[in-house]
Amino acid sequence: MGHIKKKRPMRLKSIFTNSFGILFSRVTGLGRDVLMASALGASIWSDMFFVAFKLPNLFRRIFAEGAFTQAFMPSFIASRHKGVFATAIFLRFMLFLAAFSLVITFFPEPITKLLAWGWSDTLIAKTAPLTSINFWYLDLIFIVTFLATLLQYKEHFATTAMATALLNISMIAALWLYMKETPQTVAYALSFAVLIGGALQVLVHLITLHHFKLDRLLLGGWKYRKSKDVQEEKKHFTSLFLPGILGNSTPQISAFIDTILATFLMTGSVSYLFYANRVFQLPLAIIAIATATVLFPSVSKALKNKQDILAYQHLDKAFWLLTFLLGAAMIGGILLAEPIVWLLFERGKFTQAQTLETVSVLQMYMLGLLPFGLAKLFSLFLYASHRHKKAAKIAIYALITSVTFSLLLMHPMGAAGLALAGSIGGWVLFVFTVKEVGFDRFVTIVNSKKSLFFVIGMAVFTFIIYLLNHWLMTLIR
Look at 19-28, 183-192, 297-306, 378-387 and tell me which has the smallest mean pLDDT: 297-306
Calculate ∠ Cα 437-442-445, nearest 5°. Answer: 135
Mean pLDDT of 232-251: 72
What is d(CA 312, CA 308) in angstroms, rounded to the nearest whole number?
Answer: 6
pLDDT tens-place string over residues 290-336: 787 778 777 777 777 777 777 777 777 788 888 999 999 999 999 99
The burial of 27, by beta-carbon neighbours within 10 Å (0-12 exposed, 13-18 middle, 19 or more buried), is given as middle
Q: Are 64 and 269 in contact (CB under 8 A)?
A: no
11 and 150 in contact (C-beta within 8 Å)?
no
Residues in the chain: 477
| b/e code 305-324 from CB counts within 10 Å (16+ = b) | eebeebbbebbebbbbbbbb
pLDDT at 130: 92
Q: Return the pLDDT at 114.
A: 80
Res 2 pLDDT > 50: no
pLDDT over 70 (residue 11): no
**How far is Cα 52 from Cα 339, in angstroms, rounded to an integer?**
29
Range of the domain at 329: 2-476
Closest CA to 212 of 267, 154, 280: 154
Which of 65-74, 203-212, 361-370 shows the lowest mean pLDDT across its residues?
65-74
pLDDT above 70 (res 474): yes
Q: How many domains does the chain have?
A: 1
Average pLDDT rounded to a whole number, residues 129-145: 91
What value does the mean pLDDT of the chain take?
84
User: Which residue did the predictor score with more confidence, 305 or 389?
Assistant: 389
**Vertex 247: Cα angle to 154 and 369 (nearest 5):** 85
| Intra-chain end-to-end CA distance of the chain, in Å | 58
Which residues, at least 6 apart from 28, have a Cβ–Cβ distance to it below 8 Å? 165, 168, 169, 172
Phi-psi region of 144 (alpha: psi -120 to 50; beta: other; left: phi over 0): alpha
Q: Higher pLDDT residue, 31 or 115?
A: 31
Residue 373: predicted pLDDT:
92
Q: Which of 363, 324, 332, 326 minimizes the C-alpha distance to 455? A: 324
